Every structure is written in structure tokens, then in C-alpha cells.
């Protein structure tokens, strides 16, 4: 821990996750003095318990699928099993290298890094043990935790959250996953590829329920084909431990026996007991309330990341942290357009989107003002080479720009960079249709969809 707690900093940042450390790095780059306080490890949930380790597991799962299905491509290979010790070693090496690099960045930017549990003791001070750090501005970035349901006890063994699932040293023979959002479908995908029998329980009518309904239905079709079971519109009733594992009961009377239950019902903000409300910060259901520049109602106090009621994504936290640093630094940044944030579920197949859904567009603009085109990946050469199914769906305003791009298929997350530009630059169908997409690539699917939207389909049906 840094021992110089007498200095007043331009920013004191409570929390070193995606939002907190991005704010620290950008502020230091702007010449501001920064103290960054973190009770665990810099990098937060994303680096150590979320984005990076889960994607490492998903890549290992893809390798397992490639070995299992190699004969489809004329390659004779055998899958002898899943060595979870080796998988975890690979995962931890990836995380470790990134962690070491981030530590180096923090040090090289001259940021005062404080290890310890901080608490907002006034609108301008954060206390860490007996030390106090004073800031002309304070940024709250304390992140989130894995939620459970009332009365559902997490034991970390048979009933666990994603934090525990990332540390599993074995492949479960069977698992029930409570929650069909991004975390749920990603772990379902990993465990199925590793050889487990998986059942997802989702209270809402579709998997990934925040996505466009067409994307949800395509994912459900793909999961059925993969043998991943799911119960939609079904509410959890209870769980009991058995000699073999757990028995999960639903309100509709169905029961499922499995080795374990993964509780993936979302993440909640870490705000309780940290002095926020005592300092005058408004908190609603645990979330700190902010304006479009991430300012709380207390002058000089900001909040970013999973702590505020915006999309709980690492890249959103990065952008909010940068926004705050630039706002404090006097650069007059633009507020974030949260509709323009790219979103990906990294399951197999991937679900990727940017902009608003068809239903949202029709609600905002009216049915007669919205035009929709869907291009099936069956017409895309590279998708056929990869043996993936799915689609690119465009939502546009009649005689107006594209307001939503929604995709399902292997590796379609890599197409989101172009889709983000299309949405955020308010491109019209003719603008994108005029671009040359390299052949054969999956990016052609975006071009083909826009050709169809412009009324001049090439390989798609008009």
C-alpha cells in the first residue's frame, strides 16, 4: 500500500476494475494526479473473474469441438478428454500476462496505487484503514457481484456462481444453469463442449432475452441442435442436495437432477456499507444514480461501471472512465450513446448486436417507419467453410439510416467493429452497399444484407 496519504489528488478513484483503471490511465495521460484504490487486484471482475478467463474457457471449448468434429473437414483426430488442470493453467497464464501488463501501465503513468478496502468518508475523501486520501474529484468504481435469489444459498460447491465455476478443476457430468442471459449461455456452451449435459432455466420467454427476438430464436435453434436443453418461461422453485449432487425444482412441477447448479441471474452493484449515501450520493436499488456525464448529485463525485444502471460490460466501463477523466480534464467530451454499444455473447454460435432491436424501433418510430432485412449465412461462403449457421439482421428506418445490426453465427463478434461504425455514423443502406467487402469473408454477410436493404440483392433473395 502507498504510505503517502497526505497529498491531495486531482482524482481519487475507489475501485480498480475496468471503469476505475481506465479513468486513472486517461486522467494521468492528461496530466492529472491520481490515486487508485483497489481491495483485490487491479483489472477487477473483467480481467480476473469475467471477460478474460471465460473467453479463455470458450476458446478451449472451441478447440475441443474442432477435435471432436475434425472428420467433417477430412482430418482424422481424436479427443482423448478434457484436462481441466491444463485448461485452467492456460486460462490463468492469459490472465496473468494481462495483469502484469496492466500493473506496469499503472506504474508507468505515475498513478498512486493503493491496495486496501476503501470507504467514502466524505464527498472529497476516501479512507483506507487509518489512511485518508483526499481528491478534488472522487470517482466511485466499486463494480458488481454475482447475484443470487432470495433464500437460495450459494455454497460454492454444488450451488455456485460464475466466480466458483471459473475455478472448477473438473468437468461436471451434468449441470443446471439458472439464467439464460450472457453468463448462462456462455457456461452452457463451454460445459457442453467439454462433454457435460446441460439444462438452462430462464424465467423469460427466450434465451438472451435482451437481444432481438430473431437472435434469441436462432440461438435456441442452434442450442437444440447441440443438445443443450432449456426451459423457457420457467421459474425456479428450490434446490435440494442429493447423494449425487442437486435436485432443482421449478414452479411448473418439473425437477432436474444434476451434479451442480450454476446461479447466473445477473450481477448487482457493490455499494452497501461504503459510505455513499452518508456522503449525499443518491442510490436506488444499490445503483448509484448519475447524469449523462456520470456525475452524481454531489459536486465533484462521479460514478462509473457496473455501479451505475448502464450496460454491465467492460467496454462500457472503459468508456465511462475515459468520459469522466476527460470531463474533469476540461475536454468537453460527448455523452455516451448506450444504444451504440456493441454487445456479444461468446457462446457457440456467437450472438452479436449493436443498436436497437426491431421491437424497440417499431415502438419508437412506428411499424410503418421501420424496414427489416435478414441475410441467412447459408449464402455466405466463409460461413459454409466454417460450417456455421445463422444470420445478419438489419433494422433501419424507411428512407433513413440503419438503427440496429443483429447477428448470430460462429465468430460474428469480429464483425461488430463495422456494424458499430454503420450505426454510430448513421449510415444508409446505399452507403454500405457501395463498399467492397473482401471475398470470401463473413464480413460479406454485412455487405450482402445492405445490398438487399438497398433493393439490389446479390446472393440474397430480394
Taking alpha carbons only, the member of 351, 41, 315 closest to residue 188 is 351
- Extract the C-alpha cell encoding 304: 462509473
Count of helices and strands (H, E) across the chain: 13, 24
Query: Strands 260-263, 174-178: parallel, antiparallel or unpaired by DSSP?
Result: parallel
β-strand 402-409 against 350-355: which pairing, if any?
antiparallel
CB contact at 8 A, 111 and 34: yes
Cα separation, 308 vs 284, whole angstroms: 10
- Catalytic residue numbers read 439
SS3 67: helix
pLDDT by residue for the chain (462 residues), tens only, comes to 454 456 899 999 999 999 999 999 999 999 999 999 999 999 999 999 999 999 999 999 999 999 999 999 999 999 999 999 999 999 999 999 999 999 999 999 999 999 999 999 999 999 999 999 999 999 999 999 999 999 999 999 999 999 999 999 999 999 999 999 999 999 999 999 999 999 999 999 999 999 999 999 999 999 999 999 999 999 999 999 999 999 999 999 999 999 999 999 999 999 999 999 999 999 999 999 999 999 999 999 999 999 999 999 999 999 999 999 999 999 999 999 999 999 999 999 999 999 999 999 999 999 999 999 999 999 999 999 999 999 999 999 998 999 999 999 999 999 999 999 999 999 999 999 999 999 999 999 999 999 999 999 888 665
Instruction: Report CA dihedral (410, 416, 417, 422) to the nearest 10 degrees.
Output: 140
Q: How far apart are CA 255 and CA 99, in angstroms?
A: 42
pLDDT given for residue 6 in this prediction: 62
Residue 17's Cβ-count burial label (10 Å; 0-12, 13-18, 19+) is: buried
Largest Cα separation within the chain, whole Å, is 70
Q: Are 142 and 274 in contact (CB under 8 A)?
A: yes
Q: Running DSSP on this structure, what letter comes out for residue 323?
A: H
Q: Are strands 236-241 and 246-250 parallel, antiparallel or unpaired?
A: antiparallel
SS3 per residue for the chain: CCCCCCCEEEEEEECCCHHHHHHHHHHHHCCCCEEEEECCCCCHHHHHHCHHHHHHHHHHHHHHHHHHCHHHHCCCCCCCCCCHHHHHHHHHHHHHHHHHHHHHHHHHCCCEEEECCEEEEECCEEEECCEEEEEEEEEECCCEEECCCCCCCCCCCCEECHHHHCCCCCCCCEEEEECCCHHHHHHHHHHHHCCCEEEEEECCCCCCCCCCHHHHHHHHHHHHHHCCEEEECCCEEEEEECCCCEEEEECCCCEEEECEEEECCCEEECCCCCCCHHHCCCEECCEECCCCCCECCCCCEEECHHHCCCCCCHHHHHHHHHHHHHHHCCCCCCCCCHHHCCEEECCCCEEEEEECCHHHHHHHHCHHHEEEEEEEHHHCHHHHHCCCCCEEEEEEECCCCEEEEEEEECCHHHHHHHHHHHHHCCCCHHHHHCCCCCCCCCHHHHHHHHHHHCCCCCCCCC
Cell of 262: 450454476
pTM, two decimals, is 0.95
Give the closest residue to 15 by CA, choosing from 238, 223, 307.
307
Three-state DSSP string of 346-366: CCCCEEEEEECCHHHHHHHHC
21 neighbors 36 (Cβ within 8 angstroms)? yes
Domains in the chain with CATH codes: 8-146+269-328 (3.50.50.60), 159-265 (3.50.50.60), 349-453 (3.30.390.30)
Amino acid at each position: 500500500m502507498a504510505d503517502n496519504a497526505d497529498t491531495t489528488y486531482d482524482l481519487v478513484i475507489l475501485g480498480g476494475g475496468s471503469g476505475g483503471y481506465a479513468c486513472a490511465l486517461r486522467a494521468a495521460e492528461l496530466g492529472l494526479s491520481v490515486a487508485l484504490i483497489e481491495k483485490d487486484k487491479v483489472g477487477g471482475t473483467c480481467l480476473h473473474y469475467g471477460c478474460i478467463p471465460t473467453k479463455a474457457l470458450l476458446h478451449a471449448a472451441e478447440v475441443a469441438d474442432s477435435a471432436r468434429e475434425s472428420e467433417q473437414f477430412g482430418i482424422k483426430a481424436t479427443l482423448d478428454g478434457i484436462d481441466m488442470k491444463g485448461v485452467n493453467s492456460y486460462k490463468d497464464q492469459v490472465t496473468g500476462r494481462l495483469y502484469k501488463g496492466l500493473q506496469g501501465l499503472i506504474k508507468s503513468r505515475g498513478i498512486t496505487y493503493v491496495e486496501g478496502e476503501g470507504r467514502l468518508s466524505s464527498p472529497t475523501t476516501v479512507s483506507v484503514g487509518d489512511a485518508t486520501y483526499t481528491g478534488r474529484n472522487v470517482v466511485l468504481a466499486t463494480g458488481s457481484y454475482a447475484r443470487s435469489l432470495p433464500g437460495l444459498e450459494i455454497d460454492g460447491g454444488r450451488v455456485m456462481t460464475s466466480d466458483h465455476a471459473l475455478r472448477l478443476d473438473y468437468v461436471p457430468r451434468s449441470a443446471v444453469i439458472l439464467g439464460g442471459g450472457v453468463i448462462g449461455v456462455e457456461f452452457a456452451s463451454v460445459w457442453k463442449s467439454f462433454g457435460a449435459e446441460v439444462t438452462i432455466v430462464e424465467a423469460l420467454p427466450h434465451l438472451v432475452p435482451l437481444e432481438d427476438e430473431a437472435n434469441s430464436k436462432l440461438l435456441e435453434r442452434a442450442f437444440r441442435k447441440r443438445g443443450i436443453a432449456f426451459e423457457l418461461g420457467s421459474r425456479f422453485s428450490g434446490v435440494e442436495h442429493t447423494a449425487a449432487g442437486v435436485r432443482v425444482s421449478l414452479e411448473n412441477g418439473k425437477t432436474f437432477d444434476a451434479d451442480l447448479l450454476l446461479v447466473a441471474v445477473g450481477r448487482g452493484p457493490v455499494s452497501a456499507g461504503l459510505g455513499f449515501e452518508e456522503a449525499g450520493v443518491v442510490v436506488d436499488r444499490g445503483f448509484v444514480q448519475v447524469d449523462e456525464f456520470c456525475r452524481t448529485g454531489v459536486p465533484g463525485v462521479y460514478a462509473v461501471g457496473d455501479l451505475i444502471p448502464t450496460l454491465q460490460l467492460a467496454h462500457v466501463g472503459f468508456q465511462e472512465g475515459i468520459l469522466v477523466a476527460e470531463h474533469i480534464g476540461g475536454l468537453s467530451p460527448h455523452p455516451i450513446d448506450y444504444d451504440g454499444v456493441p454487445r456479444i455473447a461468446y457462446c457457440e454460435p456467437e450472438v452479436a448486436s449493436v443498436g436497437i432491436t426491431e421491437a424497440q424501433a417499431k415502438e419508437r418510430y412506428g411499424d410503418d417507419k421501420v424496414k427489416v432485412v435478414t441475410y441467412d449465412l447459408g449464402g455466405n461462403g466463409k460461413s459454409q467453410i466454417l460450417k456455421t449457421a445463422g444470420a445478419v439482421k438489419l433494422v433501419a428506418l424507411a428512407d433513413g439510416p440503419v438503427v440496429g445490426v443483429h447477428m448470430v453465427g460462429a465468430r460474428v463478434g469480429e464483425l461488430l467493429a463495422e456494424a458499430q461504425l454503420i450505426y454510430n455514423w448513421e449510415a444508409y443502406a446505399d452507403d454500405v452497399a457501395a463498399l467492397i467487402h473482401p471475398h470470401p469473408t463473413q464480413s460479406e454477410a454485412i455487405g450482402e444484407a445492405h445490398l438487399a436493404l438497398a433493393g439490389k440483392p446479390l446472393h440474397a433473395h430480394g
